[in-house]
Amino acid sequence: MNEQAAPMPEFALRLVKWQRQYGRHGLPWQTREPYLVWLSEIMLQQTQVATVLDYYPRFVATFPDVQALAAADEDEILGLWQGLGYYSRARNLHKAAKQVVTEFAGRFPRSRIELQTLCGVGRSTAAAIAAFCFDARETILDGNVKRVLCRLLVLDGDIANKKFEEKLWCTAEALLPQDAADMPAYIQGLMDLGATVCKRSKPVCCVCPMNDMCLARAQDRIAELPRKKTAVMVKNLSLYWLVLRNRDGAVFLHKRPAKGIWGGLWCVPCVDSLAALYELAAQFGLAAEDLNEGAEISHRLTHRHLFMVPFTAQAGGQPIESTAVAGEWVSPDNLAAYGIPKPLHDYLNAVQSSLF
C-alpha cells in the first residue's frame, strides 16, 4: 500500500455526479423498496446483470413481497431459481424472509448491523440495502469496488488476505460522501464504475471520471492491480444418474441433502461409482443388465467439472428399501414444480419422448 495516498474528498463528489449523468439507470431493482433491493443483491452475487434481468421479473411476479416469499414452499422457490446456481442463496432467501416476518414484523430493518442478522446477508449486501433504501452512510466492498480502490490508490496486497481486506474496508469508509442524500447514487456509482469502466481487463480509462487522480494509471500499474487471486484447481467429478420411469411415465426423483452439489434440489438418484449405481438399481428390483447407458453429459461449476452418465430403466414401483432412496414419482407434466439441477432439466427435456 502507498501510505502517502490519502483518501481524496473529491472522489465521492465526482462519482455521484458521474453516476447521475453516465451511470446505469432503469434497472428494475433501482428502487427504495428494501425487499426488491435485497432480492436483487442476493441474485447478483456471482451472477451477471444480464442473467438476473431474466430471472428477477419472474421471481417478483411470483413473490411480490417478503410475506409471499416467507409463506412459499421451498421447492417452488428452488424451481424458479433453477439455472441461477449457488442454490444456497435461494434457501437463505427463504430463511431470511421468514426472519423479516417473524423477527421484524414484516418490515426490513434499517441499519446495516440489523440487516446482517438476516440469513445470507453479509456486510456488503447489508450496506447496499441500507444505503439504497435508507440513505445510510455505509460502504460496499465487492470485487468491483476492491478493484477500483486498489487501482485508485495503488493498494497492493492479497485480496484474499483478511488484514488487507480490512484495510480496504477502512479506505472505502473514508471515501464516503458527507451528504447522506448522495448515498444511493454513490453506491450505484461504485458498482457502475467497476462494472462498466474500471473493468478487470480492458478498462476504459479514457472515460473514467477518476483518470487524473488514479495512481495506478499514473504509475502504469493498472494491469498489475489488484493482485490476481491464486487460481483454485478445478476438480473433475464423475457421477452416475439412475433415471427411472414407472409404467405411467413418471420419473423417480429424490431431494438431495442441503449441503453439497445441488443441495436441496430434486434429482434422480445420483452416485459417484458404478458399484453404488448397481446397488441403487437393486433396490428397485433391477439388475445391471436392465440399465441402458446413455451419452456422457458435462457441466461446469465454479470449482468442479462434472461428468454425468445417465443409466435409464423402467421400474415397477417404489424401491424395495424405500428409506434408503426415499423420493417421489413425478409425472412429466409436473416436473416444472420441482427445483431440478439445470443439467438434469436439460437432459429430461431432450430425451422426454425417447427415453422408453
* Pairing assessment for the beta strands 328-330 and 270-271 based on DSSP bridges: unpaired
Give the DSSP letter string of 230-253: PPPPPEEEEEEEEEEE-TT-PEEE
- Using a 10 angstrom Cβ sphere, with 0-12 exposed, 13-18 middle and 19 or more buried, the burial of residue 287 is exposed
**279 classed as catalytic:** no
192 C-beta neighbours (distance < 10 Å), count: 20
Cα torsion through 48, 53, 58, 63, rounded to 10: 80
Enumerate helices (H) and strands (E) in the chain, giving the number of each. Answer: 14, 8
Angstrom distance (rounded) from CA 198 to CA 222: 9
Q: Which of 3, 33, 41, 173 is catalytic?
A: 41
CA quadruple 119, 123, 128, 134: dihedral sign? positive
Give the DSSP letter of residue 271.
E
Which residues are part of the catalytic machinery? 41
